[in-house]
């Protein structure tokens, strides 16, 4: 069995998300009854779209990361907990003893909940199962028990499906992605924070009137409020902050302009890539609807995808870029913080993208929610860094020079990780039972009153395929 699981994990690692996803989509489309030719074309189109998304993301995140690291260097801050980034966290997760088992565990959990009619989401985002393995590896490091880690990984797989179902209609309506949900744990975990903060802001006179949605900005500023121009302006500002002392005048001007143009390009190209993705996903969504209709009437089946499909929206990009210098400032001023941000500053778009439907694309509120989430995340990272480091060492990860401990914004800053570990460390077996009971209660409440939960996540009516449009 271990040899089989090792081979399965090796295939996932070798193929990567952009190849693995089309293969999974093709197989699922055939199972759902789509014609082979149609399924093949849909799978290839989805793969091409994700390659396009990743190319644009690589360009954008590379620029943000370089700018952020330049800002960090300008501050001269030194910390002993180093942010090693999500690729390292993923390698640690899949390299752990939990990572060996996480794919079959997550698939079994998903199928069981679908058959029990407790979820509508079929999670095809196999690559991102590493988030479940990562929290499970922290649990194993905390207790020394692989069993604890496997149970936690299973609970996290279930929790991701709950978040996906809960936010599905809101995501579909706001982003124009019919038939889709987002079981990306690192992105969905911000939803409860966004709902609470939004409720508080609604009750603060004056503040509750601030509306900085990209539509409002474009209407008031004309051409200067258009997404591509807005991306240019924000990029130029970040470039000036990052590179004002990068060398002679020509070097500074070059770096600033390159930063601005890159972010302008991301604002324009990411929505185009998502449109191609939806073109490929539509036949799969139709096949899923027909499959379910024949067997379960009007029951809806959602395709669970990576939150990368969301971050092309101007509100998500704009708020994320504003949060980069804020995150660096927080790392300097927060009392007791030992974390220096480095590799994962570029993933802030993934952290905040799911807030857009809840906050109706209000960039001001998204920045407020993002700031609160990141501020709390620093303290989570400080608390979890010893376990993060232990899990890394156990998986054979090579520690960076001069780093006493390590972390990452994904998943080292997540409140979910902290709650899970605190429950295990302080309540032992009872903590596991309590976590399972809470997730089960959430599923039960959701099934009892889906409308209330979906309204809490900003949902309206689900969009039809014909309503899909560029973000």
* Model confidence pLDDT, tens digit, residues 113-156: 988 888 889 898 887 898 999 999 999 988 888 888 999 999 99
Residue 467 has what pLDDT? 42
Asked whether residue 24 carries a pLDDT value surpassing 70, the answer given is yes
Torsion angle, alpha carbons of 437, 304, 320, 155, to 10:
20
Residue 370 has what pLDDT? 95
38 close to 283: Cβ distance less than 8 angstroms: yes
Token couple for 315? 């509100």
* Average pLDDT rounded to a whole number, residues 67-74: 78
Tell whether 249 is covered by a domain.
yes
Residue 295 has what pLDDT? 65
Residues 33, 19: Cα–Cα separation, whole Å: 22
165 close to 119: Cβ distance less than 8 angstroms: yes
Rama region for 462: left / alpha / beta (φ>0; ψ in -120 to 50; rest)? beta
Tell whether 116 is covered by a domain.
yes
Asked whether residue 222 carries a pLDDT value surpassing 70, the answer given is no
Asked whether residue 361 carries a pLDDT value surpassing 60, the answer given is yes
Tell whether 458 is covered by a domain.
yes
Lowest model confidence (mean pLDDT) among 8-22, 61-75, 452-466: 452-466
pLDDT single digits (tens) 4-14: 656 665 666 66
Residues 349, 186: Cα–Cα separation, whole Å: 11
228 close to 312: Cβ distance less than 8 angstroms: no
* Average pLDDT rounded to a whole number, residues 219-247: 77
Q: Report the chain's terminal Cα–Cα distance, integer Å.
A: 45
Token couple for 369? 């929610």
Residue 373 has what pLDDT? 95
Asked whether residue 461 carries a pLDDT value surpassing 80, the answer given is no
* Average pLDDT rounded to a whole number, residues 158-169: 91
Tell whether 72 is covered by a domain.
no
Asked whether residue 158 carries a pLDDT value surpassing 50, the answer given is yes
Domain around 158: 2-61+84-467
* Average pLDDT rounded to a whole number, residues 284-310: 75
Tell whether 172 is covered by a domain.
yes
- Number of domains comprising the chain: 1
Tell whether 357 is covered by a domain.
yes
How far CA 177 is from CA of 40, 238, 307, in Å, comes to 21, 31, 12
Helices (H), 36-129: 36-75, 86-95, 102-115
Mean pLDDT of the chain: 81
* Average pLDDT rounded to a whole number, residues 362-385: 94
Tell whether 70 is covered by a domain.
no
Angle at 182 between CA 180 and CA 186, to 5 degrees: 170
Residue 16 has what pLDDT? 64
- 405-407 and 81-83: which strand pairing? parallel
Tell whether 97 is covered by a domain.
yes
């Amino acid at each position: 069995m271990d040899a089989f699981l090792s081979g399965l994990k090796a295939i996932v690692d070798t193929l990567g998300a952009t190849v693995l996803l089309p293969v999974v989509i093709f197989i699922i489309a055939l199972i759902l009854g789509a014609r082979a030719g149609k399924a093949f074309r849909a799978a290839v189109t989805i793969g091409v779209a994700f390659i396009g998304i990743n190319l644009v993301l690589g360009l954008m995140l590379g620029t943000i990361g370089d700018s952020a690291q330049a800002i960090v260097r300008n501050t001269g801050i030194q910390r002993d907990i180093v942010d090693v980034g999500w690729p390292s966290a993923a390698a640690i997760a899949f390299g752990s003893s939990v990572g060996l088992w996480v794919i079959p565990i997550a698939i079994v959990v998903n199928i069981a909940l679908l058959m029990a009619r407790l979820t509508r989401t079929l999670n095809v985002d196999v690559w991102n199962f590493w988030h479940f393995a990562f929290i499970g590896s922290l649990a194993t490091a905390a207790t020394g028990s692989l069993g604890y880690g496997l149970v936690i990984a299973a609970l996290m797989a279930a929790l991701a499906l709950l978040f996906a179902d809960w936010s599905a209609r809101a995501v579909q309506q706001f982003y124009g992605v019919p038939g889709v949900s987002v079981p990306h744990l690192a992105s969905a975990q911000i939803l409860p924070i966004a709902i609470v903060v939004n409720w508080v802001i609604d009750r603060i006179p004056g503040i509750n009137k601030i509306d900085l949605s990209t539509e409002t900005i474009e209407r008031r500023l004309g051409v200067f409020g258009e997404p591509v121009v807005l991306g240019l302006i924000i990029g130029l500002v970040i470039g000036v902050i990052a590179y004002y002392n990068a060398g002679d005048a020509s070097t500074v001007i070059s770096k600033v302009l390159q930063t601005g143009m890159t972010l302008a390009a991301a604002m324009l190209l990411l929505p185009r890539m998502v449109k191609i993705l939806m073109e490929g996903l539509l036949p799969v969504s139709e096949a899923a609807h027909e499959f379910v209709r024949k067997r379960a009437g009007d029951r809806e089946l959602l395709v669970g995808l990576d939150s990368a499909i969301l971050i092309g929206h101007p509100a998500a990009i704009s708020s994320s870029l504003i949060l980069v210098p804020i995150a660096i400032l927080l790392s300097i001023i927060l009392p007791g913080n030992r974390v220096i941000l480095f590799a994962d500053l570029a993933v802030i778009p993934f952290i905040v993208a799911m807030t857009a439907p809840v906050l109706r694309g209000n960039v001001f509120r998204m920045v407020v929610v993002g700031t609160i989430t990141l501020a709390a995340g620093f303290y989570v990272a400080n608390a979890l860094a010893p376990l993060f480091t232990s899990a890394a060492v156990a998986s054979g990860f090579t520690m960076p020079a001069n780093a006493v401990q390590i972390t990452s914004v994904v998943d080292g800053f997540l409140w979910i990780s902290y709650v899970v570990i605190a429950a295990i460390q302080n309540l032992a077996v009872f903590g596991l039972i309590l976590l399972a009971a809470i997730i089960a209660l959430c599923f039960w409440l959701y099934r009892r009153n889906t409308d209330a939960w979906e309204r809490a996540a900003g949902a309206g009516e689900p969009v039809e395929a014909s309503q899909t449009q560029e973000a």
